Structure 1
Amino acid sequence: MAKDSERSVARILYIDQGKSNKEIAEKLGVQEKTVGNWVKKYGWKEERDARDNNVDARIENIKAVIDDIIADRTSARLKIKQVKIDLEHPRTPEDEAKTLRDELSTLKKEIVGYDDSISKWNKTLDNFNKENKVSLATYLHVMDELFKDMQAHNQDLYLKTLDFQEQHISKVSVQLG
């Protein structure tokens, strides 16, 4: 029984907290090999990787990239405004005006590049959302399997969750349907 509780704690440390096998073994007073066996036997590495790379996290990463590009674009727009002001009120020789016009041209090209990047990342985000949307049929299949396993494991718990199951499936059917 002690091994079951140690394994449960080890799972939390490994999956949720990202601890290494060695750190877990030291904390729980078990062999590192034992933790490694649990990781392999119960698929903890795959689960941790899947959780770390879940759809929501990947979408947030893409949005962060888009936000960074937008910030760079905004900065370039502000520089363009300043260069235009400097060109309208010449205080310097013609060679500096040429330098300002060159800078203006470069900044405009940068903005075109930013716009192109934003467009491509938005397209990636749209495609990602489409590709990673779970179909209602798949979701229902997974939930049916879960509820069957719950029924086989603990009939009382299964019966206590029947109302929840119905409400949850109805909610998801509306969302995904």
Structure 2
Amino acid sequence: MGRSKIREKEHAQILYVNERLTKKEVASRVGVTQKTIGGWAEKGNWDNLRKSLLVTKENQLSMLYDQLEWLNTHIAIRKVIYDVPSSLLKPVMIEDENGDKIPKVPDIDTTQFPVKIGNVATVKEADTISKITASIKKLEDETSIADIVQVAREFIKYIQPLDFGVSKKVIKYFDMFINDKIS
């Protein structure tokens, strides 16, 4: 398959999968037959790809923000554990009012000791927070072909009621722009 056919196929896939156009509409936009689009769609599992768009960038971001919120909340509300030496926590024998010896754990103000586990992220939690934050930044910063197609679709929807003729020209230019980005 030649380079231009590969670009046509990739552009057609984006239009079919992301824009959810019919095979007939895709064929018209890309400039190939509907039969060609049908063959590409079958071989490339485009219908399954359409379904996989349920895992969109927005959904991924939402899940990452939820994970980050859960982790930060978990850290903030967990019980603080102080690093009290175990020798101070051993019971000592004392006499009760009857003179009997009984074991008693000494009263100790644990807050006077260093924090063992507190409301600060552990190394492992800090690493997880860092990775989630990096993933969020990457998703928010990158512009994929799908994002470009989405913006193009919204822009064309905006232009169509204002000037249908111009919208047809804009579609042509966006198609050329997307083909250029793919190559």
Taking structure 1 as the reference length, the TM-score comes to 0.37
Report which of the two has the higher share of strand.
2
TM-score by length of 2: 0.36
* Higher helix residue share: 1
Q: Relative contact order, CA 8 A, sep 6+: which one is greater?
A: 2
